[in-house]
Structure 1
Amino acid sequence: MGRSLKAEVKVTIQGKILNPNREKRHKLNVVLEKYRKAVKFFASFKIRDKTLLQEKAYKEARMRFGLSSTLTQTARDKAVELVKENEGREFHVHRVSIRVNYRAFKLVKRDTKLTPYWLYLQLDGEGAWYPVQFGKRQEEMIEDALVEDEWSLQQVELVKRGGEWYAYFTLEKPFKGYKPQTAIGIDLGKRNLATVVALVNDKPVKGTFFRSSKIKEVRHKYFNIRKKLQEKRRLDVVRRLRGKERRIVNHELHVISKKIVEYAKQFPSPVIVMERLTGIRENFERGKKLNRRFHSLPFRKLQSMIEYKAKLEDINVIYINPKNTSRTCHRCGHVTRADRREYRCPKCGMIYNRDLNASINIARALTRGTGRGSVNGPKGR
């Protein structure tokens, strides 16, 4: 692998806006309503190019919605993203958040009892300060961004959820500039949530499996509990249980993703290679019970956590086309269907673990240029 990869690392840090007063909350709500209308207006043109959409609709959007130039531009960008993601299908903007770029916000640290972190937002004619609270890990990242020159704050997404407001900060820093030497292929599946292998001199070494059994057990347990509670109409308890279930699953995903990144760090100049997950769920039909268990596996969430932790270690992540990665013999390249836990090649006679075979093909899609892929991660948060 002789080519250099993406020039910067981007990560997102979540903070909670603490109890804004009535005036500030009203301002956020008014801007959110205008912003969503602007995004819907821009999206109605179904234009996928920002420059062309700017020429067609920017002036009218400014007049219609009364947003600042900065917010009007980010609404335009959001609309382009939605049009591209939905590929002509209808979509709703009720989940759209307010994107504010670096020109209209700043985050500073103050010596206050409520919180040391204060966010200044220029949403309309007058700016306002909002207190923000971070978790321990997020606080460490924000400290690095505020104190060191390595990280820079690029934008903040203002998200309204359950009546509360949250701020998602995008931090950016340059990669250290190494050229990748070791491809780390990761296959995701229903039995082994993740199968990981490194290619050293084009040979697979240290294949490692991370089972999905614990997550499936948790999902199954809480599914049965919720079913009984719903029959008794105890919806309040059902909501609390969902939060508990989510925390247990997220903890397991954090453990697995951390171990995967630690695995990658063993090798010189690693680059992690994963499949774009488009269609993975649609291709699995094995009966109602098995379908439910498979669809409960949080593949995209795991990919996002792996990517996030990898970027913090200056390890790049590439997504490749998933076509035939599980059906191709990594030894001879023959393509056949793999119905069992073992991959059996009818051409060269190789018998190999099915998931390990797929992870080797995923890694080789990068090293051999058979699926150059992109650095774009899973869609959605």
Structure 2
Amino acid sequence: MGVDLGLKVPAVAVTDDEKVRFFGNGRENKYKKRNFRSFRKALGKKKKLNAIRNSKNKEQRWMEDKDHKVSRAIVNFAKENKISVIRLERLANIRQTTRTSRKNEKNLHTWSFYRLSQFIEYKAELEGIKVEYVNPAYTSQTCPKCSQRNKAQDRKYTCKCGFEKHRDIVGAMNIRYAPVVDGNSQSA
């Protein structure tokens, strides 16, 4: 099973028999983070430093809870479909390597992709499911049918060969068959 992690859609999973499931709500996450940010800004103007510290802890607890729920749903989906291997992207140094707009920069820097992947890994291990990491380069830009690279227009990926899907589904499909980073590849 391939799992594509992201901001707008926290996770998308695709199995070998083309079952697709979207996990989490990126809009809700963005909305809550923006509310916490504006609340802290208002408290900062009033010089209420302890209240700011407490609100940061509340935001972190809320995000951690969301990551736990998404990771549990992913592992349960894998268990329902009798999946033995979950493949995730190795998103190391993603903040330094990606180009982003000022609008998305705050979201990128508060994205807890590492914690989510760790939660998926330990919950999958408890269920006897192996987790492997793949190189994330061009996973959402490569066509799964003809292997040609195309940029997605907004959320829709279209290829010249006629293939059309949601770009996160395309990413998850490519992650499913991508070579493993550490070299211990096995067929998915």
- Regarding TM over 0.5, the answer is yes
C-alpha distance in structure 1 between counterparts of 2:35 and 2:91, whole Å: 26
In the other structure, the counterpart of 2:60 is 246
* Aligned-residue offset at 1:269: 4.5
Question: When the two structures are aligned, how many residues end up with a matched partner?
Answer: 182
1:284 and 1:291 in contact (8 A); partners too: no
- Residue among 260, 271, 286 paired with 2:101: 286
Higher relative CO (Cα under 8 Å, sequence separation at least 6) belongs to 2
In the other structure, the counterpart of 1:349 is 162
In the other structure, the counterpart of 1:338 is 152
Give a deviation string over 1:78-112, Cα, whole Å, max 9, x none: xxxxxxxxxxxxxxxxxxxxxxxxxxxxxxxxxxx
1:328 and 1:361 in contact (8 A); partners too: yes
1:308 aligns with 2:116: no
Q: Of the two, which has the highest radius of gyration?
A: 1
Give a deviation string over 1:231-265, Cα, whole Å, max 9, x none: 22211101111111111111111111100000000
Q: Over aligned residues, Cα RMSD in angstroms?
A: 1.7
C-alpha distance in structure 2 between counterparts of 1:322 and 1:186, whole Å: 11
In the other structure, the counterpart of 2:173 is 360
Q: TM-score, normalised by structure 1?
A: 0.46
Give a deviation string over 1:350-381, Cα, whole Å, max 9, x none: 1111000110000011xxxxx222399xxxxx
C-alpha distance in structure 2 between counterparts of 1:375 and 1:193, whole Å: 26
1:224 aligns with 2:38: yes
Alignment-mate amino acid for residue 273 of structure 1: R
Structure 1: give runs of 5+ residues left out of the alignment.
1-183, 366-370, 377-381
C-alpha distance in structure 1 between counterparts of 2:131 and 2:99, whole Å: 26
* Aligned-residue offset at 1:311: 0.7
C-alpha distance in structure 1 between counterparts of 2:85 and 2:47, whole Å: 49
1:373 aligns with 2:181: yes
* Aligned-residue offset at 1:349: 1.9
Q: TM-score, normalised by structure 2?
A: 0.90
C-alpha distance in structure 2 between counterparts of 1:257 and 1:207, whole Å: 16
Cα gap change, 1:269/1:198 in structure 2, threshold over 3 Å: closer, same or farther?
A: closer
Cα gap change, 1:279/1:344 in structure 2, threshold over 3 Å: closer, same or farther?
A: farther
Alignment-mate amino acid for residue 362 of structure 1: I
Percent same amino acid at aligned positions? 36
1:319 and 1:375 in contact (8 A); partners too: no
* Aligned-residue offset at 1:279: 3.7
